[in-house]
Amino acid sequence: MVPQSDIEGWLSEPDFTPYPSISEMLLKLLDGKRLLQPVLLENIVFSYEIIPGVQSPRRSSEVNISLLKAAVLNSYCRRYGDNINDFDKIILHHSNTF
């Protein structure tokens, strides 16, 4: 696992890392929802960047949402040993809050 200070640095360097653009689009994609279980941001970024033909995005407009979903799903399945093939199945749609 990468130290939090490293990730904070990456998030503040949009010209040098894809973390700001991917993070922004991930928040928009989730739209207030969350994953059933946590996935490390560095794993999502790595999974996104190893997709053949993908260039490392520096702006949110460069992030392909379909590929981001695939990267999140891939990272989730690798972390938890699942074989899920539908992004929506790893999203917590409702929460019970009191």
pLDDT value at residue 10: 81
CB 64 within 8 Å of CB 87: no
Residue 97: inside a domain = no
Residue 80: inside a domain = yes
pTM: 0.86
Residue 98: inside a domain = no
* 9-18, 33-42, 69-78: least confidently modelled range: 9-18
Q: How many domains does the chain have?
A: 1
Structural domain of 66? 4-92
Residue 25: inside a domain = yes
Phi, psi of 43 (to 5 degrees): -70, -40
- Mean pLDDT across the chain: 91
Task: Please check the confidence at residue 98 and state whether its pLDDT lies above 50.
Answer: no
Tell me the average pLDDT across 39-68. 95
Task: Please check the confidence at residue 73 and state whether its pLDDT lies above 70.
Answer: yes
